[in-house]
Chains A and B, each alone.
Chain A
Amino acid sequence: MSTRLEYQLEAGQPDQLAARLGEIGHLRACGRQRVERTWFDTFDWRLYRRGQVLEQDTSGPSSAVRWRRLVDGGLEAAFANTVPRFARELRPGPLRERLLALIDARALLPAASVRCEQTTYALENSEQKTVARIRTEVAHTPGGPVHRLAVEPVPGYPEPVARVRDLLEQELSLPPAGEDLFYLAVGATGRQPGDYQSRLQVELDPQMAAGAAARRVLGLLLEKVLANLDGARQDIDIEFLHDLRTAVRRSRSALRQFRGVLHPHLAEHLGEALRWVGTVTTPVRDLDVHQVEFEQVWPSYEPELFAAMRPVGALLVTERERERQKLVRHLGSRRFAEVLDLWRRLLNQADPPASLAPRAGEPIGRLAARRIRKLHRRMRRDGRAIGPETPDEAVHDLRKLGKKLRYTIEMFQSLYPRQMVKPALAGLKQLQDCLGRFNDLTVQQADFRTWAGHFSQQPGTAGTLLAMGQMIERLRHEQRAVRAAFQRHFGDFDRPVVRRRLAALGRPPGNS
C-alpha cells in the first residue's frame, strides 16, 4: 500500500514549487477550490481507535469523502457523496459492509471543521498517465493558517515519487508536516480524539483504601452517565442510552460490592434511585433491540413472513416514539436531577465512621479478591444445581449472578496483571452469551404476546397475528435449543482450567 508524503510549506511557496515539480514530469493542474473540510467519527471514536478518519470536503453543492488511515494517509475508500448519518443508510455494497463492521449502529458525528483552499495537480508520464497526485493547501485552523503539500503515490510508479521526494527533501529541504490536520482541528474544539470510550477503565492500586476506590469507581461511572445524557435525550443513536444504562447497572453492582465501605443510608438511597433510572429507561432500550432485529434479522426470514410482520415494525416505531417522549421527560425531571445530586453527595463525602462503614479502610485488593471469590463460588454452586427440569427462573437468576461477576472483575481488573483478567473473562463470556440469549428470548416472546393483544383489537390483522404466532414458535424453538446448550456451556465454564483462572482472581493481588 502506498504511503502519502506530507510537508510543511510557507506562504507563497506553492507557486514556485509547481515550476520545480514540472521538471520531473508533466504537472497538470486539476483545479483550485475552497472547501469546508469536516472530520466525522462516532461519539466513542470507533474510526480513530482503528487509526482511521472520515473526512468530507464540501465545496458549494458538491462534496467528496475520503476514508483514510492516519498512519500513512492511505485510502480505505473515496466516494463522491456526503458522509451518511448511519452506515446502514448507505446502499448495499462493500462500503456499507466495511463501515457497518466498524461503527455498527453508532451515528457519524462531525468532530471538527476547517476551511481550506487547495490546489490539486496530477504528475503525468509521457502517456499522460497520472503517476502521483499532488495537493497544496492552506487550512485556516483556529491557531492560524497551516500551509501543506501532500504527495500521494500511485501504485506501480515508484520512480517519479522518489524523484519528487528527493526534490522536496534534499533540494528544497521541506520539513515534514508533523501532526495530521485532524489532530489540530479536533484539538481546537476542546476535545481530544479518543476522549470517550464505552469500556470502564478505572485505575486502582491494591493497597488503596476501599472507600477511596469506591469513590473513584462511582465517580467514573457518573462521568459516563453524564457523557451520554445529551445523546440519549436527543436520540442521536441508540448506543447513548445503552451506555448510560450500562453505567447505571455497573454502579448498582458496585454499590452492592462496596457494602460496608460507603455511607450505608446514602448508598442504599442511591441504589434505589438508580433502580428507578434503570426501570424508566428499559422500555426504549427493549424497543431498540426489537428494531435492530426487525431491520437486521427479520428481513432474512421468508418474504411472506417478513411482509406479514411489517405492521409490527410500524408498531415498534410508534411505540418507541411514545416511550422516548416519556424517557425525555424522566431524564429532564426533578427526580432525575436529585439522583445526580445524591450521587455527587456520596462522592464528595469523606469516609463515614467505622461504625457505619467498617470496611472503608480495608485495602481494595483484599476486598476485590473476596468479592470475586464469593461470586464465583455462588455461580458454580447455582449453575451445578440447574438440570433439564429446573424452572427457567433459576437460569435467569444465574444470568444476573454472571453479570455481577463480570462487572466485578471488570471494575477491579486494574488490580491484576492483564494476562490474568482477559482469559478469566473469556471463560465466562460464552456462558453469559448463552444466558443472555435465553433471557432475550423470554422477553421477546412476552413482547410478541403484548403486541398480539394490540393487533387482536384491530380488523384485518389476521395475517399479522398468524405471523406473530409463527415468530413466537420460532423463539420458543430457539429457546429450547439454547436451554439444551446451557449444560454444555456451563460445563465449559466449570472446567478446571477456567476454574483456576477465576480462582486466581479470588486471591488478593500480589499474594498469588
Chain B
Amino acid sequence: MKTLAVYNIKGGVGKTTATVNLAYEASRSGARVLVWDLDPQSAATFYFRVAAHIEGGGKRLVRGKTDLAGQIRGTDFPNLELLPADFSYRHMDRVLGQGDAPRDRLRELLRPLAKRYDCVLFDCPPSISLVSESVFAAADALLVPLIPTTLSLRTLNQLSAFRDERPHLRDLRVLPFLSMVDRRKRLHRDVLERLAARRSDFLHTHIPYASEAEKMGLHRAPIGSYARRSPAAAAFEQLWDEIQQQLYEPAPLPNGSVPEVTTPAGRPCVICACPLAAGPRGLQCPNCGYAEEG
C-alpha cells in the first residue's frame, strides 16, 4: 500500500480537486483506493456525496476507540472508498498532541488497511501543524499542487526546508506539480518556461485551469466521470500515470561496477536472486530464507 498526501502549506491551490480526481483516475487504472478527507471543511467528502460525519467524532477515531474500517464509505465508483471528514477534525492537532507519539498516529491507524487498499490519498488541510507532521510520517510521498505564481512556489521551498531539517522524513518524497495553470496569463507562461529549464524535480504534467473543475461542485463527482474527454480529465489521468511511474519503477542501484560483498536490502539474494528484505536476523530472502546476519 502506498500512502500519498496531497498537501500544500497554502490554501486554494487545488488540493481537494487534485485528491478527488487523482483518486478517481487511480481507481480507473485498477488500484483499490481510499481517500481520507482530513480537512474539516470536508470538500472531498462533499464531492463524493458522503455525509461528513464520523461516529463519536475525530477524537475517538484518532485514539482508536472507533473502528476506523467501519467508518469507510463506498463512493459512486468501484474500488474508490472514502473515510469522511468530520467538523471535529478542527481539533485534531490538540487531540494528537494529547496522545503518545502523535507523529506516528495516522500511520498506526492505517496499518490494518494495508492489504485492503493499494493506495491511500490524504486530502490535507493547509498550514504546517501536528496533523501535517503526522501525515508526513505516514506518507510515502507528498503531492504538492502549486499555482504558477512566485508566492505559491515559495511555499515549496518552505516545505522542502521543513522536511530536510527532520531526519525521520529523509525518505519522504516530494512530488510538486503545477495546478490551475492558465496559459492566457503571461505570468503562468513565464513560470512554466522557467521551471522547465531549471527544475527537474517537478512532475511534467500540469493541471490546466478549467471550467470543468469548477463544475465539480455541481456534479459532486470527479471530472472524468462527467467530462471524460475534457483536457482537465486527461491531465489528471496523465498525472496519475506519471505518479505511478515515479512510485513503482525500480530505482537504479548506486554507481559502482562491482557489487559490495554484503547485500543491502532490495539487492538480489546470492542464492535465488530475489530482493532481500529486512528480517529479524538481518537481511533475509523471502523466497529461499537466505540470511545475511545483521
Give A residues with C-beta under 8 Å from B.
1-2, 65, 67, 75-80, 90-98, 122, 127-130, 153-157, 297, 299-303, 305-306, 429-430, 433-434, 436-437, 470, 473-474, 477-478, 481-482, 485, 489
Contacts and interface: CB of A to CB of B under 8 A. Distances in A.
Given A80-B28, A92-B244, A302-B252, 4 more contacts: A75-B78, A98-B118, A429-B288, A437-B273
B135 interface: no
A34 B29 CA distance: 24
Nearest to A130: B76
A154 B273 contact: no
B58 to A, nearest CB: 17
Contact of A92 (B30, B245, B258): B245
Greatest chain B CB density within 10 A among A153, A436, A481 is at A481
A156 B72 contact: yes
Interface in B7-21: none
B290 A430 contact: yes
A92 B288 contact: no
B270 A77 contact: no
Interface of B: 2, 27-32, 48-51, 71-76, 78-79, 81, 116, 118-119, 220, 241, 244-245, 247-259, 261, 268, 270-273, 287-290
6 contacts: A75-B78, A94-B118, A97-B248, A157-B73, A301-B252, A473-B258
B116 A1 contact: yes
Contacts of B251: 300
A302 B30 contact: no
Contacts, number: 134
A93 B31 contact: yes
Given A430-B271, A434-B271, A437-B273, A95 B30 contact: yes
Given A430-B289, A478-B259, A78 B49 contact: no
B81 A155 contact: yes
A403 to B, nearest CB: 15
Nearest to A304: B255
Contacts of A305: 257
Contact of B76 (A80, A97, A129, A473): A129
A459 B287 CA distance: 42
A476 B48 CA distance: 57
Contact of B272 (A299, A433, A474): A433
A506 B261 CA distance: 40
A470 B81 CA distance: 49
Contacts of B268: 297
A470 B76 contact: no
A485 B248 contact: no
A116 B256 CA distance: 58
Nearest to B252: A303
A504 B244 CA distance: 51
Contacts of A93: 29-31, 244, 247-248
A165 to B, nearest CB: 17
Given A1-B116, A303-B252, A94 B78 contact: no
A485 B290 contact: yes
A300 B253 CA distance: 6
A470 B259 CA distance: 10
A76 B30 CA distance: 8
A76 to B, nearest CB: 8
A155 B72 contact: yes
8 interchain residue pairs of minimum CB distance: A95-B30, A94-B118, A156-B73, A154-B74, A92-B248, A129-B49, A79-B30, A93-B244
Nearest to A426: B289
